Amino acid sequence: MTLVTPALANEDVTKNQANPNNWASQSGDYSATRYSTLDQINTSNVADLKVAWTFSTGVLRGHEGSPLVIGDVMYLHTPFPNIVFALDLKDEQKIIWKYEPKQDPSVIPVMCCDTVNRGLAYAEGKIILQQADTNIVALDAKTGKEIWKVANGNPKIGETATNVVLIAKDKVIAAISGAEFGVHGHATAYDLKTGKRVWRGYSVGPDDQILFDPEKTMSLGKPVGKDSSLKTWNGDQWKIGGGTTWGGWSYDPEANLVYYGSANPSTWNPSQRAGPDGKPIDQKWTMSIIARDVDTGVAAWAYQMTPFDEWDYDGVNENVLVDIDIEGKSTPAVVHFDRNGFAYTLNRKTGELLVAEKFDPAVNWASGVDMDKASPNYGRPIRVAKYSTFKDGQGADVNTQGICPAALGSKDMQPSSFSKLTGLFYVPTNHVCMDYEPFKVSYTAGQPYVGATLSMFPAPDSHGGMGNFIAWDAAKGKIVWSKPEQFSVWSGALTTAGGVAFYGTLEGYFKAVDQKDGKELFKFKTPSGIIGNAMTYTHGGKQYVAVLSGVGGWAGIGLAAGLTNPTDGLGAVGGYAGLKQYTNLGGTLTVFSLP
């Protein structure tokens, strides 16, 4: 396997990403591999890591994402209120500037699963922040002063923001959260210099709104056709249909395509989303990978992982771009570990489906994915009727038990990493199942539009824990090794040329394992549970590895928001009730180096 080589992109981003001393973007590179060529810290000495320095953010909620390092400066973000710090690495991490946006706290209860933020982006002397209230702000990287600011949505109708933006060419590409509030999801491009809107592509709706060309936009090798989304919805339901985007981005400069995933349809009660005949209907293009032209926003292809979702298996997870040898042929691929428990390998140029296999053996809602190209169900999951949550009518008398995975998926937004050393993917996973009871819900703008009660618990007949850290062969669709963890691994992975894979645990341990076999080489208990992403950089000739700790996110929402009812937090509070015995709230960056 090989990495994607940038050809046409934003030159400043490409230059900074190519310098391994930096950590220039949240995903490490445009391909979202989260791989570093640094090897000063390696399998032979990683056990000697010591804490070099720490920094408290002053915010006690879930800390996702990671800092950026550009040259001598580290840029650090927080959850709401989304403070940004610039730290001087050559002067004892002195605070160069601090930006603290003034946001209406009424946005907090509209945020689905904690007040997290997945990080900053950098290009051409600008730091780009997308705030919880959807405002996108361009800051002068030297001074922290606002250059431009634009609203990407409206919190009063449930639109919020948690994810990082992508900077590709001269554009800032952003998205919106809020499918649990019945918002109309979209991806939107703004001009990097001015903040002026360039294009907006919705996930669902008419062709001119979703920017799908009926003849040229492809799905599984065929044109999508006219009204590919509209004809899979009942009436105007698409207008409050969800399909938001809050996961990771990747970009292929050669194809000029940006890749991202769309989330669940609204509501979580599938019976309320049935077709005019009361039968299931796909609700395209929710739960899909979408590849769009960066300049125009027009979709080149799309693939729907979970048609007519019945379990909240959002398709937002990262799409990693690598070239994979499949049957002796090098293929430009995109690899996606979906919430639904299947790992997909597709041709990133055409959207052709190459591999689809379970990356957690506990997955039971579907037995597999139909890979027969001659089948009318090609590319669709083979569902197991026992685990359906759909019933004709309004579904009020449905209580489906033992569904695996739970709504938070076999993996949520916590990003995987691809190692150039081994050709394997290193994936943080959830090993969690659920009981699911839909109920009828009415839509009111700005109010929750969920319509289901969930209970979560560890997958049965396994190690008894709620997580695994695995190595995955994307060409074969096989787990190479799996390391059990007591709780879900809700931290983004990092791999390096030193042969090490780094990740954090919900209890707060920062760990290093051998990429070859998963052998644990190092662990350190940080001040709080880790849902942030491991990153690495060098300064003064020395390699550092760092991670944000601060328990929260969906899995840690009970601790973060002080919830105790087991079904609160969309079912997560009960499932992770034991977490409070191991960690507490925090907000700390911990930085490690060799002595």
Catalytic residue chosen out of the listed positions 29, 252, 312, 338: 312
Q: Is 449 helix (H, G, I), strand (E, B) or coil?
A: coil
Peptide bond between residue 345 and the one before it cis (omega within 30 degrees of 0): no
The answer to whether 153 touches 160, Cβ cutoff 8 Å, is yes
Three-state secondary-structure class, residue 242: strand
pLDDT the model gives residue 5? 44
In DSSP terms, which residues pair with 223 in a beta bridge?
A: 218
Give the DSSP per-residue string, 57-112: -S--S---S--EEETTEEEEE-STTT-EEEEETTTTTEEEEEE-----GGGGGGST
The sign of the torsion formed by the CA atoms of 555, 561, 564, 568 equals negative
Bridge partners of 486, per DSSP, are none
Question: Cβ distance 250 to 194 under 8 Å?
Answer: no
Whether 312 is catalytic is: yes
Q: What is the DSSP string of 550-573?
A: ---TTTTHHHHHT--STTTGGGHH
Which residues partner with 54 through β-bridges?
590
Residue 387 and residue 406 in contact, taking contact as beta carbons nearer than 8 Å: no
What tokens were used for 316? Answer: 């937002």
Torsion from C-alpha of 464, 469, 471, 473, nearest 10 degrees: 70
Instruction: Note the pLDDT of residue 154.
Output: 96
Q: Alpha-carbon distance 541 to 557, whole Å?
A: 39
Cα 423 to Cα 35, 208, 411, distances in angstroms:
11, 40, 20
Say which amino acid occupies 481. Answer: W
* C-alpha to C-alpha distances, 156 to 81, 167, 427, 441, 580, nearest whole angstrom: 17, 27, 36, 19, 33
Please give the full DSSP string across 135-182, using - where no structure is assigned.
Answer: EEEEEETTT--EEEEEE---GGGT-B--SPPEEETTEEEEE-B-GGGT
210 SS3 class: helix
For residue 207, give the nearest of 223, 221, 225, 185 by alpha carbon: 225
Strand 35-36 to 494-496 pairing: parallel
How far are the Cα atoms of 257, 347, 374, 379, 412 from residue 334, in angstroms, in the given order? 12, 6, 23, 16, 18
How many C-beta atoms lie closer than 10 Å to residue 530's C-beta?
33
Instruction: Name the one residue in this structure whose structure tokens are 């038990």.
Output: 401
C-alpha–C-alpha distance, residues 456 and 574, integer Å: 7
What is the chain's Cα-based Rg?
22
Residue 100: count of CB within 10 angstroms of its CB: 12
Task: State the Cα–Cα distance between residues 44 and 31, nearest whole angstrom.
Answer: 28
Angstrom distances, CA of residue 317 to CA of 259, 299, 411, 492, 552? 10, 18, 8, 11, 18
In the chain (595 residues long), the average pLDDT of successive 10-residue segments reads 56 95 97 98 98 98 97 98 98 98 93 94 98 98 98 96 96 96 97 98 98 98 97 96 94 97 96 93 98 98 98 97 92 98 97 97 97 96 96 70 97 97 97 95 94 94 87 97 96 98 98 98 98 98 98 91 89 91 97 98
Structure tokens at 160: 């919020």
Based on DSSP, count helices (H) and strands (E) in the chain, helices before strands.
4, 41
Quick check: 305 and 288 in contact, CB under 8 A? yes
Give the pair of three-digit tokens for residue 110.
Answer: 């509209």
Tokens of 514: 């051998």
Q: Which amino acid is located at 70 in the chain?
A: I
Tokens of 204: 């669902």
pLDDT at 6: 43
pTM of the predicted model as reported, rounded to 2 decimal places? 0.96
Separation CA 583–CA 507 (nearest Å): 6
| Distance from C-alpha of 558 to C-alpha of 553, rounded to nearest angstrom | 9
Contact between 529 and 554 under an 8 Å Cβ cutoff? The reply is no
Specify the length of the chain in residues.
595
Q: What is the pLDDT of residue 9?
A: 73
Q: 362: which 2 tokens?
A: 């506990």
Ordered domains of the chain (ranges, CATH): 2-593 (2.140.10.10)
User: Is residue 12 helix, strand or coil?
Assistant: helix
Residue 48: its pLDDT value, please? 98
Q: Which positions ≥6 away from 191 have C-beta within 8 Å?
A: 170, 171, 172, 197, 198
Tell me how far apart the alpha carbons of residues 555 and 476 are, in angstroms, rounded to a whole number.
30
